[in-house]
Chain A
Amino acid sequence: MARIFYDKAPVEIQALGTNFRETLIATDCSINFNNSQSPIYSVGKKGPIGQFPSAARVGDISFNFLTTITGEFQNIVGIGVTSERNGNIINYLADAIKNSTDSEASGVIIKCANVSGVGFLSSYSFNATANSISSSSAAFTLFGSGSDLPVSGRLSGVSAGVAVGTSVTTGIAHGRYTTMPSTLNTKLYDDTSAQNPAVATIYSADYSISFNHNPIYKIGQEFPVTTFYTNASESINVSEDLFNSGLKYDETAASYNLELKGLSPTANPMLLRITDAKQINTSASVGLDDIIRTQKTLTAAY
């Protein structure tokens, strides 16, 4: 009987062929393994002949986690030391994939309570809100490879040991210390005060990116021989207080560096670069006992 409490079910990510490995500060995790079966019917028989496999078995793993930055949380193995690579392993992975020039993808090993598989990042998102800790989400698709199953292993508890003492965590991104690039704030000009634009205040930002992968199957084998990364679409939804009614038909593309910081003012931030993003939407809404808040969405493609 596998009765495993949550403290024995850490979520661990390990990049294949590298030393990059990180136990995420996950708040939940779900693992699915799907086997597609279709009924086959024939003339002269009312019921189906049977149910037969119609696609290869695939799995998926998704989890939410606190947006960790390199360093001082538990025994996290940080990602690199340069300013370009601070952040958690999922952020690093997303950055590496979307800027990849190599089409063939290698995937990463995902483990939770001794169940594991090789997965390809299908989506990643995080939020940054005033006075709140930042949380992230990630989802992986597990295709399997060769004769390797997409998902394998038996549920069992994994002990991480118990650390001594308590402290204030400094390695988790927090909206209090995170700043958005000044170019991301909406600015509105009018004819009379072009030098003094109205500048919006940013209250929160939600970032997300989704990836498309293409597994290559061959006759005589259930699982793919290889998997290619094809493209990615990225978006950031920013909450402000200025409504840009002058949205252009062909908006200018711009790049933004988001820097997520934790409670330590001196630690390097987690960097995320959005390249050639265009604003595609703006909206305003208001409810009782609140100011009018506006939303704008910027998208980029890779």
Chain B
Amino acid sequence: MLGRITREAERLTINGSGIQGVQSLTASYNSVARPVSNLGINSIQYYPEGPQQATLEVNTLLTHFLPVPNELSSYKSRDPMQNYTGTLPFSGVVDHGSKKFYFTEGYLETYSATCAIGQIPQSSTSSVIYGNFGTGAQFDSWEQTSQTPTSLNVTSYGSMEINLDTFVTNRVNSFNVNIATPRLPIYAIGNDEPTGVIAGTPIEVNVNFEIEPDDYEIKNMRLIPDETVFKNTVITLKKNNSHDILLKYSFDDMLLTSESFSANNDSNARINFNLRSFILR
């Protein structure tokens, strides 16, 4: 009665594997109920209009990783969530106290990794649930499949590498990698779940950096062949105080799409810039 549920009683499990280092989690749905409106209206009744979908947003510290994948592994990235940027769906359950709710056929729509000085790198994901969501009879016989568990490997800002020639002489304050993976659900008549979910293409990748410049030079805004800048970007996350590589984000031929210079009377000059590229599946 009027109790409260705190973080130790909350848990997210995806495809049979507990997600560790969760900082925040939001799961929601809309019923898509619309009231009937007609000439001579004399009562309010509801009907569903449009596909019924739910969303799941998860923010985790990059502290737990899968084992190094080999040829037989069913995954490619050591970050469990990054593996769902492809075509695979996932299912899961959220425990809160003695209650739990379920979701099936989730597809990742955005994946981002961020880090700033003094922080442990974090990943954020948002997913759309095309299957079922919640509780009820649909989940009575539902069982999760087991998956390879993760182990503790804390990353840190002090042991990462950023391979971008700009950073040899200019200090990096923070970065943000954002991967958008479009999905196209195909709904057929007579079904409330899609008959298939197409992994859309291209995948859009945006990488944002904030630097405190020394000799960095703002580029030209005109999109002309001689002045437009393309760069290769590699961000390597390593285990804290070690050379064990845990994650590597590598993108070629990224287009410099924006630069923002800011000056303030109580801080160093800063430049934010964005690199953008597209990956065809």
Residues of A within 8 A of B (CB): 6-11, 23-29, 63, 65-66, 73-74, 112, 128-133, 158, 160-169, 172, 174-180, 201-205, 263, 289-291
Contacts and interface: CB of A to CB of B under 8 A. Distances in A.
Nearest to A241: B186
B142 interface: no
Contact-size category for B: 20 to 34
30 contacts: A6-B39, A6-B40, A6-B41, A8-B40, A10-B40, A11-B39, A24-B38, A25-B38, A27-B39, A66-B36, A66-B38, A73-B45, A130-B187, A130-B188, A130-B191, A131-B48, A131-B49, A133-B49, A160-B40, A160-B41, A169-B45, A172-B36, A174-B48, A176-B190, A176-B191, A177-B190, A179-B189, A201-B188, A202-B190, A291-B184
Given A27-B39, A201-B188, A168 B47 contact: yes
B interface, over-half SS: loop
Contacts of B192: 131, 176
Contacts of B51: 130-131
Contacts of B39: 6-7, 9-11, 26-29, 63, 112
B119 interface: no
Contacts of B40: 6-11, 23, 26, 158, 160
A130 B189 contact: yes
Given A163-B43, A169-B47, A129 B38 contact: no
Interface in B140-183: 182
Interface string B32-46: 010011111111111
B225 interface: no
B189 A175 contact: yes
B279 interface: no
Given A163-B42, A176-B192, A291-B186, 4 more contacts: A10-B38, A176-B191, A203-B186, A203-B188
Q: Which has the most chain B C-beta neighbours within 10 Å: A11, A25, A28, A263?
A: A25
Contacts of A27: 37-39
Contacts of A180: 189-190
A251 B198 CA distance: 34
Given A112-B39, A163-B43, A201 B182 contact: no
B180 to A, nearest CB: 13
Nearest to B44: A166
Contact of A25 (B36, B182, B184, B189): B36
Contacts of B182: 289
Contact of A289 (B43, B50, B184): B184
B18 interface: no
Contacts of A6: 39-41
Contacts of A175: 189-190
